[in-house]
Amino acid sequence: MPELPDITIYLEALEQRVLEQQLEAVRVGSPFVLRTAAPPIQSVVGRKVETLRRIGKRIVFGFESDLWLVMHLMIAGRLHWRDGMIGTARLKPASRSKANELAAFIFPNGVLVLTEAGTKRRASLHLLQGEAALREHDPGGVDVMDCTLDTFAQALTSANHTLKRALTDPRLFSGIGNAYSDEILHRARLSPVALTQKLTGEEIDRLHRAAQETLAHWIRLLRTETGERFPENVTAFRPEMAVHGKFGQPCPTCGAKVQRIRYADNETNYCPTCQTSGKLLADRSLSLLLKKDWPKTPDELEELRRK
């Protein structure tokens, strides 16, 4: 799922292309993507994009007449930009699977296409009238990039959750998901299952700095990688990442093998040496199967696998 750094780069690319541009036409290719009926989606046709915002992991287009288009890409949604001939030919999306194209927004200088891989159709569009309606779509999480240590600590310790759950809760923190939470926790040298209300002041300070530094690092890296192009390779799995998606690979800090906890469609990746004092965290699927035989250290796990 595109997270804060990815959404930031999307917004910067959109600002260069659609800000102050008039939307000429909109085509909704899937009946599932549009989650509101009033005002109708055609209400934005002929109106300029006056502002662009991020709300959590959502991209918000502010149109004239106080109309707000809220786009949530979810896991598999992606944006694509196709340059076109200004003021002449009608613009059509480039050759892409019709099944994957959820919507197309035609501007004088190009077409913005929303696609979604797979068949689950989780990506969504909401067209809203007025700021009050827009605020209802804000989960209320703290913006880590701008918050003070005190604000961060208050949000973090407001309930006794695991660090992984707390960082990815949009009601607590804005725009952080599965991928960047792994990277933040690795940089902070903290276990993903440590409880928020059990942390010391020094650990909270370390986590606050790690969150800001990690997100800033990735914004810079993605900005450099994208340049003046539109971001087309948005993914949660990047070779530069320390632990996310790196199960079984060496930790770049200490060389120990990265481990994981799997649950539902996601997994948490961590370094046992850097983050859990050498302890192997219980993987639900395997630990339930092995019960008392579940290994306590990475070495014991390797020995079990060899058997």
Whole-number pLDDT of residue 299: 54
Measuring CA to CA, which residue among 230, 234, 229 is closest to residue 218?
234
According to the model, what pLDDT value does residue 120 have? 80
Q: Is 274 helix (H, G, I), strand (E, B) or coil?
A: helix
- Which position has the higher pLDDT, 283 or 254? 254
In one-letter notation, the amino acid at residue 122 is: R
Q: Which residues contact 201 (CB under 8 A, 6 or more apart)?
A: 153
What is the distance between the alpha carbons of residues 253 and 63, in angstroms, rounded to a whole number?
47
Tokens of 55: 């709300």
In the predicted model, is pLDDT for residue 96 greater than 50?
no
Q: Mean pLDDT, the chain, as a whole number?
A: 89
- Rounded to 5 degrees, φ, ψ at 241 are -70, 150
Question: Is the pLDDT assigned to residue 62 strictly greater than 50?
Answer: yes
- Is-contact 182 243, C-beta < 8 A? yes
Statement: residue 240 has pLDDT above 60 = yes
Q: What pLDDT is attached to residue 285?
A: 53
Say how far apart CA 4 and CA 187 lie, in whole Å. 17
- For the chain, give the number of residues: 307
Q: What pLDDT does residue 222 have? A: 97
Distance CA 44, CA 126 (A): 12
Type and span of the H or E element at 68: strand 67-72
Of 27-36, 104-113, 210-219, 256-265, the range with the lowest mean pLDDT is: 256-265
Residue 276: name the closest of 257, 302, 303 by CA.
257
| Number of Cβ atoms within 10 Å of the Cβ of 148 | 10
Decide if pLDDT at 303 tops 80: no
For residues 120-146, b (16+ Cβ closer than 10 Å) or e, as one string? Answer: eeebbbbbbeeeebbeeebeebbebee
pLDDT, tens digit (0-9, with 9 covering 90-100), for 196-228: 999 999 999 999 999 999 999 999 999 999 999
- Give SS3 for 103: strand
**Confidence category of residue 87, pLDDT binned at 50, 70, 90:** very low
High-pLDDT (> 90) share of the chain, %: 79
| Residue 190 to residue 211: CA distance in whole angstroms | 12
Q: Are 250 and 243 in contact (CB under 8 A)?
A: no
Q: How confident is the model at residue 98 (pLDDT cuts 50, 70, 90)?
A: low
pLDDT digits 0-9 by tens, 273-297: 999 999 999 875 544 434 454 455 5
Closest CA to 244 of 218, 210, 267, 272: 267
Does residue 19 register a pLDDT over 70? yes
Position 297 scores a pLDDT of 58
Lowest mean pLDDT of 37-51, 66-80, 94-108, name the range. 94-108
Closest C-alpha to 131, from 17, 53, 14, 36: 53
Q: How many percent of the chain have pLDDT more than 70?
A: 86
Give me the long-range contacts of 97-100 (CB less than 8 A, separation at least 24).
98/29
Question: What domains can you pick out in the chain, each with its CATH number?
Answer: 4-135 (3.20.190.10), 149-306 (1.10.8.50)
Which range among 144-153, 216-225, 293-302 shows the weakest confidence by mean pLDDT? 293-302
pLDDT category of residue 298 using cuts at 50, 70 and 90: low
What is the structure's pLDDT at 286? 47
Residue 263 pLDDT level (bands cut at 50, 70, 90): confident
